[in-house]
Every structure is written in structure tokens, then in C-alpha cells.
Amino acid sequence: MSEETYQEFINIAQAKMDQKTKPIGSLGVLEAIATRLAAIKGSLSPSVEKKRMLVYAGSHGIAKEGVSAYPAEVTGQMVLNFIRGGAAINVITQANNIELFVIDAGVEMSYPEGVIDHPTFFYLPVGQGTTSFLSQNAMSAEACEKAVQIGRNQANLAIEQGIDLIGIGEMGIGNTTSAAALYAALLSLEPAEVTGPGTGLDEKGIKHKTDVIQDALNYHHNIQKSPMDWLAAVGGYEIAAMVGTILEASAQNLPVVVDGFIATAAATVAFEHDPKSKEVCFFAHCSKETAHRKILETLEVQPILDLDMRLGEGTGAALCMPIIDSATQVLCRMATFDSAGVSESESDVHKRA
């Protein structure tokens, strides 16, 4: 829908919300969530009953440059942990009745026999990890497009299977370096502003990571690049897949919950490529990772939670899904003053007049 129609639907939904048995505006951010959901879905009675988390994984060549506190093989090991049900994202999704899909978009890993046949695991590697982007592209334009299409396909599959709300998360040792490089390139920020500890680097490690990003940007800035060019230059397969999910979700009016620091980098690429895609995105939380708050402010989006989290995996997005569900149910099920026979305040009556 057009921006004008989208805003008009929000206004109509807000008018419905203002009739509920509560002071106007008293449910705060929940009201904004509910009215945006109504606009995205084009319904004053939206539902997000069926929820799915999409966790994309990819190995990063830049990890070879010593930018992470963990070895690169942890990416594949954690994918196995997701499949076996032992990670934080498994616990949180199970606790909240959220389906979990894990997608290998490019992990350097040889899986044990039978793993790739797991019903909620999608083995779709574009390659065995990206290349170190210090002096070449992390991936080719063709590989980047393949990874983006993986994400688009997951959004379409969700639509086909009647999913009402999706979340995006990731796993990839070294991907905070890719994310920071994308922020610096696309938002004209200095590497020192956007580089943090990631998996737990000390001050010396952060300085080295910052230098690696600066050296890479110095190399890649020689050529004028579009957002998708930058994605191929310094991104990761899992980041590209998340970009694809956002872009296709926008085309299909499917709401997306964006997780933390790395998922927000994917959203940044998507918004730069197609500003309209911002309409379908809800930002789960403000990560404790350096500069995430500044980046959210730059994108002019409001995170729902702030819990000092910096794990990734889609954990923040999964935690937010029940909140989004609750907001929509308020819009759909809460009584109005008329239906409940409750008297309104004179000030609220005047506000609606």
C-alpha cells in the first residue's frame, strides 16, 4: 500500500484503540505496535497467532583476521546446537510457542549423518563461508544475490504456510565485524563509533577489530557502491539472507521482528535499497553491543525491549513476539466504553472530538 494509505490505516486503527476501556494512550508502545500491525495487514482485527523465527547462519572469512574471541568453527557447532534444541533460542521459542527454522546460508561445516534431513533445518549453503574482505569482496555479486534469494524464499514459504509474524536472527562468528563495516559504509559512521566487543573482545581486541574494519573500508571505498554492492563487499551470507527476508516480507505485507545488532545491519541494507521495507519491521531490542542505540536512533526506529542482551540467535526477537501478540489482541478483544457500559473521562472525550 502507499505511504498515505498506510498512515491512514494507522489513524483508523488508533481511533479504534482510543475507544477501549482505558485512558487514551495509556498502553504506550503497545498501542503503536497494534496500530502498525493493523496497517501492515490491512485489517482492524489483525492476528499474529502463528509465529516463526528464522535463524540464518553463515561463516565469515574475516574471522581469520582475529576479530572474534571465539574460533570460526563455533558457527557450525552452534548450528548443530540449534538443531538439537540446546541453545537459548530453542528455549525461548519453545517457551512461547514459536516455530523455529534454522537455515544454513553458507556455513563452513560437514554435518553428521542425518542432520540435513531435520524437518526444520534448511541446508542451503551458497558457499563454505565468505572470503576475508580486507582486500577483496566477501562474496561475488552472484553469490550475494543467491543468499538474498534464500531469505526471500523463506518469507514466501511463511506466507504459503499461513505464518502471521516472522522474526529474523543469525549465527556467524565474525559477523559483528561485517555489521560494523556495513554501518560505517552505509550510515557514514567512523569504524570506532560502531565497533564493539562482539563475542567478548578486550580493549586490545576491539582496537584490532576497528583497525581491520578501517583497512577494509579504505580498500573498498575506492569504488562507488550501492547498498547491495556493500553487502557483497563486506557482508555475510546470513546477513544477505536476512536482507532478502525483509525485502520479500515488505512485498508481501508480512510483519518482521528484527533481532539485534547484526539483524539491524541487514535491515539497514534493506532500507537503503528499498525505504518502503521499513514499514513492516519491528525492532526487538537495543543490544548492549556498542553503537546499537545510536544506529537505531539514526534509523529513526524504536526498540521494544532493552535488556542488556547481546547474544544474537534471534533471542530478542523471540522475546518480543508475545508482546506483539498481546498488543494486537488488545486492539481486537478489549471492550469499548460503550460495550462495557463504562463512563469515560471528559478529557478523553474532548481528545477524540
- Residues of the chain with pLDDT > 70: what percent? 96
Least confident of 26-40, 47-61, 137-151, 193-207: 193-207
Residues 153 and 17 in one domain: no
Question: What pLDDT score does 290 carry?
Answer: 82
- State the pLDDT confidence band at 80, using cuts at 50, 70 and 90: very high
Statement to judge: residues 82 and 10 lie in one domain: no
Q: Which of 65, 313, 344, 346 is catalytic?
A: 313
If asked whether residues 78 and 152 sit together in one domain, one would say: yes
Joined grid coordinates for residue 316: 530478542
Q: Look up residue 240 and give its three cell numbers.
A: 544477505
312: left (phi over 0), alpha (psi -120 to 50) or beta: left
The pLDDT, as a whole number, for residue 254 is 98
Does one domain contain both 42 and 62? Answer: no
Can you give the pLDDT at residue 207? 92
pLDDT tens, residue by residue, 39-60: 999 999 999 999 999 999 999 9
Residues 232 and 341 in one domain: no
**pLDDT(344) > 80:** no
Q: Within this chain, do residues 71 and 204 fall inside the same structural domain, yes or no?
A: yes
135 and 11 assigned to the same domain: no
Does residue 165 sit in the same domain as residue 146?
yes
Q: Are residues 218 and 85 in the same domain?
A: yes
Strands (E), the chain: 51-58, 99-106, 121-123, 165-171, 256-258, 281-283
Find which of 223-232, 283-292, 313-322, 339-348 is predicted with most confidence, using mean pLDDT.
Answer: 313-322
- Provide long-range contacts, Cβ within 8 A and 24+ apart, for 341-345: 342/21, 345/23
What is the structure's pLDDT at 114? Answer: 92
Give the pLDDT band (50/70/90) at residue 199. Answer: confident
Domain CATH for 82: 3.40.50.10210
Task: Looking at the structure, tell me whether residues 134 and 30 fall in a common domain.
Answer: no
If one counts every other C-beta atom within 10 angstroms of the C-beta of residue 91, the result is 13
Query: What's the whole-number mean pLDDT along residues 330-334?
Result: 95
Which structural domain range is residue 202 located in? 51-324
* Residues 189 and 282 reside in one and the same domain: yes
CB 225 within 8 A of CB 186: no
Can 73 be counted among the known catalytic residues?
Answer: no
DSSP 345: P
Total number of domains in the chain: 2
pLDDT at 347 over 70: no
Residue 353 confidence (pLDDT) above 60: no
| 28 φψ region: left (φ > 0), alpha (ψ -120 to 50), beta (else) | left
Q: Look up the CATH number of the domain holding residue 13.
A: 1.10.1610.10
Query: Is the same domain home to 180 and 216?
Result: yes
